Amino acid sequence: MTINVPENVNQYRLRVIEKTKAWFSGSTLLDSGCGDGWDAYLRKKYFKKITATDIETNPNWKNLSLPGLVFKKADSEKLKFKNKSFDTVIEKDMLHHASNPEDALKEMVRVAKRRVIVIEANRYNPLFYINLTLLNNHQHFTQKRFSGIMASAGVPYEIKRFSARVCWINNPAVIKAFDKAEDMLETFPLYAPIIEYNLGVITLKK
């Protein structure tokens, strides 16, 4: 368990990493729009150096100390990094908060050397729509809108999808069964339009 994080929440974060780590490339990572920083902290095992940024400083950053992990305040739509500064650039659920998600994605592409990874919740997943869109005003993208944003970067991309959410019961056996159920959902074509996450991958250099 990550310190002070419930196991069901931690397992959800680890699942997202497991579903996306195949596209990690190189030794340096920019996490654009890192929020509380936990995802960057968990990804550190895969990279020599991680720079994690968000538009506002998060008080949790001071609790996440690892060699090679640096947190900075930065605007994802106007990153103050040179071109090709990072091997991999990633975001998770940041673009739908950006005033101009296309600009934020273009900045990610600009500062990336090898790979850009975009992870965004599907607006029409029923649970996400009720809990996050209706009740908490998270304006998640439809799959069509997500594809349009990926295309706006003007470089070749691929789109994948995966299932991941926090298990509602914090019990190891239940969490394990929950993960297996999510794996099954990923195999059902009829579930694809409402699956939890859209994953966009831009490969600039292998």
Domains defined for the chain, CATH in brackets? 7-203 (3.40.50.150)
Amino acid in position 78:
K
User: What is the model's pTM?
Assistant: 0.95
Distances (CA, A) of 144 to 147, 193, 198: 5, 10, 10
Q: Alpha-carbon dihedral of residues 44, 166, 181, 11, nearest 10 degrees?
A: 30
Q: Is 146 helix (H, G, I), strand (E, B) or coil?
A: helix
Q: Alpha-carbon dihedral of residues 190, 191, 192, 195, nearest 10 degrees?
A: 170
Kindly report the number of other CB atoms within 10 A of residue 49's CB atom.
Answer: 16
Query: pLDDT tens per residue, the chain (206 residues)?
Result: 456 789 999 999 999 999 999 999 999 999 999 999 999 999 999 999 999 999 999 999 999 999 999 999 999 999 999 999 999 999 999 999 999 999 999 999 999 999 999 999 999 988 886 767 766 677 899 999 999 999 999 999 999 999 999 999 999 999 999 999 999 999 999 999 999 999 999 999 76
- Give bridge partners of residue 160 from the DSSP assignment: 199
Of the candidates 5, 185, 202, 194, the one whose C-alpha atom is nearest the C-alpha of residue 109 is 202
Distance from C-alpha of 1 to C-alpha of 22, rounded to nearest angstrom: 23
Distance from C-alpha of 147 to C-alpha of 155, rounded to nearest angstrom: 12
pLDDT tens per residue, range 137-190:
778 999 999 999 999 999 999 999 999 999 999 999 999 999 999 999 999 999
